[in-house]
Amino acid sequence: MEIYLDANATTPVLPQARAAALSAMAEAFGNPSSIHGSGLRARAVLDEARATARRVLGASTGRLLFTSGATEGIQTAVLSALTALRRRRDTGESLPPQLLYGATEHKAVPEALKHWNALLGLHLKVVAIPVGLDGRHDLDWLREQAPQAGLVCTMAANNETGVISDLDGIAEALRGSPALWLVDGVQALGKLALDLDRRPIDYAPFSGHKLYAPKGIGMLYVRDGAPFTPLIAGGGQEGALRSGTENMAGIAALGAVLKALESGEVFASTQALAERRDRLADALRDAFPGVVFNAPFELSLPTTLNVSVPGLSAKLLLDLFDAAGLRVSGGSACGASRAQPSYVLEAMGLPAWRTAAAVRLSFGAADAEATIAEACRRLRACGESLRASCQIPSADEAPRHADRFTRFVVDGACCYVVADEASRRAVVVDPLPELTERLTQWMRCRGIALVAVLDTHSHGDHASSAPVLRAAARDLLAAEAQDERVDGLGWPVDREFIALGTLRLTRLATPGHTEDSTAYLLHEVLREAYGADALLAAFVGDTVMPGALGRSDFAQSAPLAYGPSLKTLARQVGVGATLLPGHDYDDRYATTLAIESRAQPLLDGVLQGRLSAEAFAAEKAELERDLPPTEYQTMACGARVECSRAVERVEMSASELRGVLRGAVAPVLVDVREDYEVRLSPTGELAPESVPLSTLLNAMPRWAALAAEVPVIFFCRSGNRSAQAAKALRRFGHAQAWSLEGGLALWDAEKIAVPAEGLAFAI
Ligand code: PLP
């Protein structure tokens, strides 16, 4: 069963509302403008819904029209206010020069302001009202600016944080101002008394689907005397304020919700809701030590919790919650490789990690007690799962499995941990400041000693965090690393190689991207058994990246040495060796010189001997001529040559998979979800291999060596990560690499039957 905790995005439809909508479609289906019996019955439903809304909103006067939702209500209000301003300007009056909106307003408000301001040719300044750390408007600023404002827009409660605006304070700050006042009441409806009769609010839009009515119905309150211009003209419905035959199913449903609200029987009281929030907050504190709440409870709707957890990204938390069947939303939009910080939390001035890692839990006032209790249980289970998979500290000291390669990515920059399970020793390559806590936790939980922290080069875009990591992991340092002298890249002075059990790390100077660029070569020592060591992978930093060569126009670059370095690398590791890059902007994981040579003519030219060191440097300089300077976390560190990749379809539908399962060649099924997700929602009878995306590198060579006809089918929650894995494996030469379309969500929905005899695995 899923637990829906995303009520600020939308809500399910209340049973009473469903019944009312059905009745409006089946029985009272008439057109409320018709004057026969069927029409009159529909009209009665319409009138009753409006009368109930007036009581709930405390709006005995003014106009109250039904709209398609809040976005339409906002447009209508903004158009009305701005049209009035334009009329004044047309009669020669001078206008207040600005339009104000709260910095944390829903995008519909500033976008509508900008749109109508431009379309009506007003060209007034559109200015955000700053908010404080508590998310509330800066009333002193507003008091000062309001005399020069034509329209002021402030929401009653915020959708991301639940912060409740001080409407009386705003009213006071606006006293004497010529501005019209719009209050977005969407998140407040049913949770706060808006008392529209009492407040000098000119416009207030509302939305049905945030309060258990269906999508496509909303309301707009317009104060008596406030200017009005219809957004939709036509048959004159809604007193000609909003033409078009009314959405009667929606209106009937909204009416039923408002009735239920009035009755006090369906919706929990504010106090009961606050108690539920406290229970959820306690569960969050138990599950995630250090969790921070991004809005003060005493100023927020009791149904919204916006949280950040130190060291845990929003993406991680969303995957985790989803695996537990908890539907929540990111307080910030997560891109493929980069989390977009929340503009609401940014406006409040919260630190960057909190604005990027925020997650919102919002429940509905009509949710059952049992739902909250189950949500609390699952939140605690999420914490347990993270502890069991070493993501957060645990009292349980049992040493956990350590993969040989684990990759961490921050905005396209890659950091690797190379560990040897038997000797429990590890090296970190290219640490990133954002990862210090996670890396330390990773090693501590597994009982791993840290032997060295290496950088592949002195980074152009950030200072190395190696000293910080060494300090944070002081108690984890291997004996020999305690007081060892290391060079600028962290390599122990005078050491020829670093040993991790049967693994051996050596270094190879590859100047070019920077003077000090160094590749680290990881071998398995097999000399005694086979006469030679096996090269497992080379950490090449930015010297060779998937789709790019590192740029060579930094002050610390050595462009003339770059070509020769690439040749040295090819000679030392071979063109088929696995290269692990310092940046991976497109989630390609690993590459080889052979793969990159096919895509990068410059690389091919130098390796084939067509380009001299000088010619290579000159052509590369040409490529980098218009490259903007590197900004940490935004700019590619490489001179990219392959900007657009052909769209490649790796998805396999559930029914195609069914066909494959019946076929002659048994597929390899791989679950790429992280350990903490699998623990919360195991795949049961499917029993796939479990190779989390962060450890994909360990299995790639094994899959690439499978017989060409063996399908390798990856799956994850939604199909996103599995598609990355499938593309990466195809690049490594295995054409039969696929991703289950729609992920486990669709798999479960389709209830795909697994053959009774089970699945034979090809490896
Ligand atoms: N205003 C706020 C505060 C909201 O939360 C939303 C919905 O997300 C809207 C406006 C837009 O509402 P609708 O979906 O009804 O257009």
- pLDDT above 90: residue 443: yes
User: Which is more confident, 137 or 742?
Assistant: 137
Of all atoms in ligand 1, which is nearest to the CA of residue 108?
10
Mean pLDDT to the nearest integer, 575-588: 91
Phi, psi of 559 (to 5 degrees): -60, -35
Is 7's C-beta closer than 6 angstroms to any atom of ligand 1? no
pLDDT of residue 587: 85
Of all atoms in ligand 1, which is nearest to the CA of residue 71?
16
334, 382, 414, 637: which one is catalytic?
A: 334
- pLDDT above 80: residue 173: yes
Q: What is the CA angle 687-408-501, rounded to 5?
A: 80
Of all atoms in ligand 1, which is nearest to the CA of residue 72?
16
Mean pLDDT, the chain, rounded, equals 91
Within 13 Å of residue 107, how many CA atoms lie on the same side as its CB? 2
* pLDDT band, very low/low/confident/very high, at 80 (cuts 50, 70, 90): very high
Q: What is the CA angle 15-16-21, rounded to 5?
A: 95
Is 446's C-beta closer than 6 angstroms to any atom of ligand 1? no
pLDDT of residue 638: 54
Radius of gyration of the chain (CA): 31
**From CA 448, how far away is CA 418, in angstroms rounded?**
11
- pLDDT above 90: residue 246: yes
**DSSP per-residue letters across 533-587:** -EEEEEEEETSEETTEEE---STT--HHHHHHHHHHHHHHH-TTS-EEESB-TT-
Q: Are 201 and 184 in contact (CB under 8 A)?
A: no
CB within 8 Å of 310: residues ≥ 6 apart: 290, 292, 353, 437
Is 68's C-beta closer than 6 angstroms to any atom of ligand 1? no
Residue nearest to atom 8 of ligand 1 (CA): 9
**From CA 427, how far away is CA 290, in angstroms rounded?**
28
User: Which is more confident, 635 or 35?
Assistant: 35
pLDDT of residue 548: 87
Q: What tokens appear for 199 in the block?
A: 């407040």
Of all atoms in ligand 1, which is nearest to the CA of residue 208?
15
pLDDT of residue 83: 98
- pLDDT above 80: residue 331: no
* pLDDT band, very low/low/confident/very high, at 746 (cuts 50, 70, 90): confident
Q: Which of 106, 155, 215, 220 to mutate to test the pocket of ligand 1 (most atoms within 8 A of CB)?
A: 106
Q: Are 580 and 537 in contact (CB under 8 A)?
A: yes
- pLDDT above 80: residue 467: yes
pLDDT of 63-77, one tens digit each?
999 999 999 999 999
**From CA 328, how far away is CA 5, in angstroms rounded?**
5
- pLDDT above 50: residue 758: no
* pLDDT band, very low/low/confident/very high, at 759 (cuts 50, 70, 90): very low
* pLDDT band, very low/low/confident/very high, at 645 (cuts 50, 70, 90): low
CB within 8 Å of 142: residues ≥ 6 apart: 100, 129, 152, 170, 173, 174
CA–CA distance from 644 to each of 423, 444, 529, 547 (Å)?
Answer: 43, 41, 45, 10
pLDDT of residue 763: 28
Q: Are 71 and 108 in contact (CB under 8 A)?
A: yes
Task: Tell me the residue type at 482.
Answer: Q
pLDDT of 118-150, one tens digit each?
999 999 999 999 999 999 999 999 999 999 999
CB within 8 Å of 506: residues ≥ 6 apart: 496, 497, 520, 521, 523
Task: Tell me the residue type at 130.
Answer: P
CA of 261 to the centre of ligand 1 (A): 20
Mean pLDDT to the nearest integer, 274-303: 97
Q: Residue 125: which H helix or E strand, with range?
A: strand 125-129
CA–CA distance from 709 to each of 236, 667, 722, 755 (Å)?
Answer: 67, 9, 19, 20
Mean pLDDT to the nearest integer, 427-439: 93
CA of 578 to the centre of ligand 1 (A): 49
Is 184's C-beta closer than 6 angstroms to any atom of ligand 1? yes
- pLDDT above 50: residue 756: no
Q: What tokens appear for 289 in the block?
A: 């030590």
**From CA 158, how far away is CA 180, in angstroms rounded?**
20
CA of 209 to the centre of ligand 1 (A): 9
Mean pLDDT to the nearest integer, 626-642: 50
pTM: 0.86
User: Which is more confident, 401 or 55?
Assistant: 55
* 153 flagged as catalytic: no
pLDDT of residue 460: 64
- pLDDT above 50: residue 635: no
pLDDT of residue 528: 74
* CA nearest neighbour of 596 among 560, 570, 616, 628: 570
* CA nearest neighbour of 189 among 63, 366, 302, 56: 56
Instruction: List the 125-129 sheet strands across, edge first.
Output: 63-67, 218-222, 203-207, 180-184, 149-155, 98-102, 125-129
SS3 292: strand
Q: Are 226 and 203 in contact (CB under 8 A)?
A: yes
- pLDDT above 80: residue 527: no
Q: Residue 144: which H helix or E strand, with range?
A: helix 139-145
Q: Are 197 and 44 in contact (CB under 8 A)?
A: no
Rounded to 10 degrees, the C-alpha dihedral 589/593/595/597 comes to 130
- pLDDT above 90: residue 324: yes
Within 13 Å of residue 640, how many CA atoms lie on the same side as its CB? 15
* pLDDT band, very low/low/confident/very high, at 644 (cuts 50, 70, 90): very low
Residue holding tokens 């030392």? Answer: 572
- pLDDT above 80: residue 480: yes
**From CA 179, how far away is CA 171, in angstroms rounded?**
11
pLDDT of residue 461: 62
